[in-house]
Amino acid sequence: MNNIIFIGMPAVGKSTVGIVTAKRLGYEFIDTDLLIQKQEKRLLCEIIAQEGIDGFLAIENQVNREVDADHAVIAPGGSIVYSEEAMRHFKETGIVVYLQAAFETINARLKNAASRGVTLREGQTLKNLYDERVVLFEKYADITISEDGLNLEETIEKVLNALRGYQ
């Protein structure tokens, strides 16, 4: 197991679960949204406002496909599944873990999608986005972890057990 890449909707806990998983495994932790902000010297919501969604997705693809890591837990943004090059890179360099939660869970956790840098197209609802992305998350996932009804510690234990079983 070289790298572990968490995918899933915004607010599913990719970074939170990722940091603890990295600590437990002795891996590095990489949040690619922070890499994007560092490269662009702007917040995600500013990039989306200034470049548009397609411009943001191009930047996101470029940054993620260039991640050069070894023994790292990587947490990309939820829209990474639109970037075939980046996802191909992640599939070649690690295990892709889909942190799955019901729409109702995501909706309850996600108070302000725009401030989180969520890429909603004009007229698109969070439910539309959820339905669209679930298909892609399932396509790329090597492992799917359902978080519904679990607390953080239970989710992390479920992830670690699934990774042990995957080797």
For the chain, list the domains and their CATH numbers: 3-156 (3.40.50.300)
Average pLDDT over residues 28-42: 96
Average pLDDT over residues 112-124: 66
**Residue 50 burial (CB count, 10 A):** 11
Cβ proximity of 7 and 81 under 8 Å: yes
Q: How far apart are CA 150 and CA 144, in angstroms?
A: 14
pLDDT of residue 114: 52
pLDDT band at 120 (very low <50, low <70, confident <90, very high): confident
Instruction: Say what percent of the chain tops pLDDT 90.
Output: 73
Q: How far apart are CA 63 and CA 86, in angstroms?
A: 8
pTM, entire model: 0.91
Per-residue pLDDT tens for 60-95? 999 999 999 999 999 998 899 999 999 999 999 999
User: Residue 100: phi, psi to the nearest 5?
Assistant: -100, 135
pLDDT of residue 113: 59
pLDDT of residue 108: 82
pLDDT band at 110 (very low <50, low <70, confident <90, very high): confident
